[in-house]
């Protein structure tokens, strides 16, 4: 087995891809964060509560696009590194088919069932109207969100990480500008907030198309029927990215119901503040993992395992440094951060959100490790362990932890369930990683002896 190669070329490539991916994901998370800020200013606690109730649907739509983009782009990168260009084109074509299918499903749900979904997610009389209009427009814009993610992932894996970053940054800046214009000067309320968010990925798609218009793209649509096996393989590699977003949706949904029972809409609004800040923080880890994914995939495709591990170590180091900085900031400035989203100056809201942030974000170091480990497994074609870790984080551990701890410790138990979950899953992840590395080392020795 080759040793880990922390060389200058490795670091150069790491810093060529990862910072742009991080900036892009931060900008992407700002779609919702901008809504959170402007909605809190324009519509108060009920608007903030309605926005958080709708957040799981955004996560699922966003996750669908990431699943298709990350899974397809990983296979595209491996095929390109092996010189199999026809297969690389086929991957892109086979990712477009389910992208269209998912878009149609979300649009139909938005057009005909948005109110029922709002009620199912926990909207009450004071938040139903706001939640319904947000969900309806959000799901009607689902094709833009899905294909923006697909194109950004393929552009990044096609050697254009800077353009992939501009794809998302441009959309996010437009979202912030339109949020202010639609909510305040135009007085469009929640409809204005989601309309601004919906236009953002449209701008992103236009920027991604620059890569195609300039004829610099190495991925193209082909005239072919859907290949079920190829689509399934892309799903398998992209599933951890979807589960990552699904877990966010499930956590928000479960926490909303618990907080609604304990502290009403104020509790939901407090969790909304914490969840949306968490979305931005998690986006940095997602950005690091997405930035390093094409590098690890390329190294894996060429059989350079040592280089792949070096990229993995760089990603873990960057995430650990970021985690430490963020927690220090949150620990000392939780109240001022919470006040940014507390337009009605409710002391209970600030106090609850600040306490929540200090407890909730003790998970940050484990969160970064888990996200990057999943992408490392995916990038080296080990889909199963990545899927297991993602499912443990998103469904198997977090839900019973939240329910049990909230019964025992109330609101504090809700906040504690997240770091406990991430810690337990990190321990499992380390165990799986070492087991796989040990088995690989044994296999390499057997091959060398022959």
The tens digit of pLDDT for each residue in 273-316 reads 898 888 788 888 988 988 888 888 888 777 777 888 889 999 99
Range of weakest confidence among 31-45, 359-373, 384-398: 31-45
Cβ distance 421 to 363 under 8 Å? yes
**CA dist., res. 146 & res. 101, Å (int):** 11
**Comparing C-alpha atoms, which of 79, 400, 69, 31 is closest to residue 200?**
31
- pLDDT score of 65 more than 50: yes
For residue 46, how many C-alpha atoms fall within 13 Å in the half-sphere facing its CB? 11
Q: In this predicted structure, what is the pLDDT of residue 307?
A: 84
pTM (predicted TM-score): 0.72
CA distance 269 to 47: 9
Burial annotation 405-430 (CB, 10 A radius, 16+ → b, else e): bbeeeebebbbbbbbbbbbbbbebbe
Paired tokens of 409: 């410790």
Looking at residue 103, its pLDDT comes to 97
Residue with tokens 């669908």: 64
For residue 28, name the pLDDT band (cuts at 50, 70, 90). Answer: low
For 330-351, the pLDDT digits (tens) are 999 999 999 988 877 888 989 9
pLDDT, mean of residues 18-44: 77
Give the mean model confidence (pLDDT) for residues 80-97. 85
Give mean pLDDT, residues 134-160: 92
Which of 32-66 are b and which e, b meaning 16 or more Cβ less than 10 Å from the residue's Cβ?
A: bbbbbbbbbbbbebbbbbbbbbbbbbbbbbbbbbb
> What is the share, in percent, of the chain residues with pLDDT greater than 70?
96
What are the tens digits of pLDDT across the range 360-376?
Answer: 999 999 999 999 998 89
> The tokens of 48 are what?
């903030």
Q: What is residue 1's predicted lDDT score, i.e. its pLDDT?
A: 41
Instruction: Give dist(CA 10, CA 5) in Å, integer.
Output: 7
Statement: residue 261 has pLDDT above 90: no
Least confident of 64-78, 79-93, 116-130, 197-211: 79-93
pLDDT digits (tens, 9 = 90+) for 228-248: 888 888 888 888 778 777 777
pLDDT of residue 449: 65
For residues 229 and 136, the model is more confident at 136
- Provide the pLDDT confidence category of residue 75 given band limits of 50, 70 and 90: confident
Residue 326 has pLDDT above 70, yes or no: yes
**C-beta atoms surrounding 321 within 10 Å:** 11
Closest CA to 257 of 348, 350, 121, 356: 121
Contacts of 19 (CB under 8 A, 6+ apart): 291
Output the pLDDT for position 2: 47
- Give the closest residue to 235 by CA, choosing from 64, 56, 58: 64
């Amino acid at each position: 087995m080759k040793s880990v190669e922390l060389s200058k070329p490795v670091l150069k490539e790491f810093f060529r891809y990862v910072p742009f991916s991080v900036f892009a994901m931060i900008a992407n998370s700002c779609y919702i964060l901008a809504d959170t800020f402007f909605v809190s200013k324009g519509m108060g606690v009920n608007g903030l509560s309605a926005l958080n109730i709708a957040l799981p649907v955004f996560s699922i739509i966003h996750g669908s696009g990431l699943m298709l983009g990350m899974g397809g782009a990983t296979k595209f990168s491996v095929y390109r590194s092996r010189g199999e260009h026809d297969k690389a084109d086929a991957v892109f074509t086979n990712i477009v088919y389910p992208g269209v299918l998912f878009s149609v499903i979300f649009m139909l749900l938005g057009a005909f069932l948005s109110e029922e979904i709002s009620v199912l997610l926990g909207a009450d009389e004071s938040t139903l109207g706001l939640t319904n209009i947000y969900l309806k427009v959000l799901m009607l814009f689902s094709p833009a969100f899905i294909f923006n993610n697909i194109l950004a992932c393929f552009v990044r894996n096609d050697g254009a990480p800077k353009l992939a970053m501009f794809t998302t940054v441009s959309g996010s800046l437009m979202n912030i500008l339109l949020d202010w214009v639609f909510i305040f000067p135009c007085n469009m309320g929640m409809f204005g907030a989601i309309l601004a968010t919906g236009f953002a990925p449209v701008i992103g798609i236009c920027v991604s198309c620059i890569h195609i218009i300039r004829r610099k793209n190495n991925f193209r649509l082909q005239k072919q029927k859907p290949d079920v096996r190829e689509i399934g393989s892309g799903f398998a590699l992209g599933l951890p990215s979807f589960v990552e977003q699904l877990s966010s949706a499930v956590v928000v949904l479960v926490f909303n119901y618990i907080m609604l029972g304990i502290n009403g809409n104020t509790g939901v609004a407090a969790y909304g503040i914490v969840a949306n800040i968490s979305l931005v923080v998690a986006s940095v880890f997602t950005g690091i993992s997405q930035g390093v994914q094409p590098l690890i995939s390329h190294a894996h495709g060429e059989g350079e395992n040592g280089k792949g591990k070096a990229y993995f170590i760089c990603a873990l180091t960057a995430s650990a440094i970021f985690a430490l900085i963020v927690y220090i900031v949150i620990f000392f400035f939780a109240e001022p951060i919470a006040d940014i989203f507390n337009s009605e100056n409710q002391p209970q809201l600030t106090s609850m959100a600040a306490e929540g942030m200090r407890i909730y974000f003790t998970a940050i170091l484990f969160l970064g490790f888990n996200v990057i480990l999943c992408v490392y497994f995916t990038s080296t074609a080990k889909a199963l362990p990545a899927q297991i870790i993602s499912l443990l984080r998103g469904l198997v551990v977090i839900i019973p932890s939240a329910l049990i701890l909230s019964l025992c410790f109330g609101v504090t138990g809700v906040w504690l369930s997240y770091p406990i979950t991430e810690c337990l899953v990190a321990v499992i992840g380390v165990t799986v990683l070492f087991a796989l590395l040990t088995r690989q080392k044994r296999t390499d020795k057997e091959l060398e002896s022959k």
